Each structure stands twice: as C-alpha cells, then as structure tokens.
Amino acid sequence: MNSLITYLKGMAMGAADVVPGVSGGTIAFITGILDPLLEGIKKINPSLFTIIRTQGIKAAFLHINGPFLLCVFGGILTSIFTLAKLISWLLVTHPIPVWSFFFGLILYSVIHMLKQVSQMTILRGILFLIGAIFAWSITMLSPVSMDATYINFFIAGCIAICAMILPGISGSFILLLLGMYPAVLAAAKGFEVSYLMCFAAGCAVGLLSFSHVLSALLRKFHDATLLFLTGLMLGTLGKIWPWKEVITWRENSSGEQVPLLEQNLSPFTYQAQTGEAHLLGLAVIFAIIGIGLVWSLEYWGKKHQGSE
C-alpha cells in the first residue's frame, strides 16, 4: 500500500513537471517525499560500488532506498509518457481552468511551506524576498533558441532536472526558456529513444550532483533554505496567472503557432476582450480545487504522523 501511495506521489510530480511554471519539487515537498528522495539520490555515489562488491547488488539497492526511488521515478515516467498528450491538449483547449487549478495549488503551497518555518528573522525575510524577485525575473526572460541536437538534449537535462527537484522552480519552464521544451515534449510523445536517452543521461548527471547541494542546505540551513524556496514559489505565480494576452507567437516543432511572449490581464479585462464571462466562475472553482488538494495532503500528512 505504501509503495502504491509513493508511486501515485511520483505520478503527481511527473504531471506537474509537464506543465511550464509548475514544479515537481513543490509536489514532492507537500507530499512529504522530498527529503527521502534527496537522501536516496545522494547515496548513489562511488562508495556504492564498494557495497556491491562486498555485500551484493541487493544490499546496494536497499542502501539507496531503491524500492522507494523505483516507485517515485516509475510514477514520474508514467505521468510523462501517459499524461504529456493530455496535459498539452488541456493547456491548448482549456487553459484558464488548468492554470487556475495550478495557481490555487501553488498559492496554498506557499502557505504550507511558510508553516514549516520555525522562526522568522529579518535575514530570512530578506531571503524570502530575494527568492520571489529572482523567480519573478526568470519568468520575464525571453526564450532562447537551441537546436534539437543530442548534446543540447543532454545539457537541457542537466539544467532542467535541478529545477525539477527544487520547490518553486519549474523544470519544464526552464526547458521553455532554453527553447527545448517543444523538442523534449515531442520526443516523449513520439518515444524517440535516442533523444530521450541523451536527456535522461543529462538528468542523471545533474540530479546526482545537485541533490548533494540541496540536501546539505536543507540539513544545515533548513529554515533559511525553505524561505528562499518559498519565495521562488511565490515569484512564479505570475507565470501561472490564468488570464493572459499573447504578444508574440512562435512556430513549434510541429509547425504550429504557439505563444512566445504573453502579458497578464485582469479577469475583467480578459472578459471584456474575449466575452468569455463564464470562465471567471470556472477559474475560481478550479483554483479552490487546487487549494483543497494541497490542504487535503497537508491534513492527511498530519493525521498520518499522528497515528505513527
């Protein structure tokens, strides 16, 4: 049963990672699997070969908490390969309800993470603001253009995976900024093994390197790191704002015209421009569903801890 729950949490991470602006690391944090995930990944190092040589493969697998990692990454890959098409379709056909759901989810996630901070100080408050400003400035950047080559898939994997395990920074949004998001999504949809293997190799290198850094920061400077990460989450809300006006367009790998640069509008301005009045109520409903989902996870987590 625990393995199934872990697998479902991994699927939630994978679903979030497909959406530009939403972080799988945020889902990992609010579902309580970020710390064991980092600890397991951190143990994948050269000393593992010694354990394999002296105690065997099974002992090494258990040393890195292999069953847990298998469930998490199995869930992530399941989502990426099964939900990529669905989420892409929903973002095109029903963008406002989808973005509203994630906006509510991230908004309450900020509140959830602030509750984990034991003590607020001026320095920690400054770190929170720095995180918010840094994330907001990233969302204002214009995407660059990278060719869909094997080396670029590897580089994109190295960079994006660091963001994917960071609460607040979206790996898929980093891919979008690098100009690699359409190519990676197309490779996942078409199951282009050679490109996916290069991307996976980059992810492995980035993940094994960055997990040590993030784990050490959370262990030694827990509250300060948490506040900076929460600031990152707050700063990305502008990217997830549901009501947008497209300023410029670009052609994706399929030859379709998709938004390149967008600006946020108020719901009322958007309604006046499009005449879609019913979407405001629908957006509120989906935002509440997103908030309710995080609140439910928070409540379930506290209840589960209390029963242990």
Q: How many CB atoms lie within 10 A of CB 195?
A: 21
Residue 154: what pLDDT? 93
Per-residue CA distances from 229 to 25, 163, 232 (Å): 10, 11, 5
Residue 41: what pLDDT? 87
Whose tokens are 């918010």? That residue is 132
pTM of the predicted model as reported, rounded to 2 decimal places = 0.76
Measured distance CA(227)–CA(132) in Å, rounded:
10
Residue 69: what pLDDT? 92
Per-residue CA distances from 98 to 48, 86, 88, 164, 302 (Å): 42, 11, 10, 20, 28
Residue 295: what pLDDT? 85
For 28-64, the pLDDT digits (tens) are: 887 888 888 988 888 888 888 888 888 888 889 898 9
Say if CB 28 and CB 76 are below 8 A apart.
no
Measured distance CA(286)–CA(275) in Å, rounded:
20
Amino acid sitting at position 50: T
Which residues does the chain have with pLDDT short of 70?
1, 20-21, 142-145, 249-260, 276-278, 301-308
Backbone angles phi, psi at 245, to 5 degrees: -120, 130
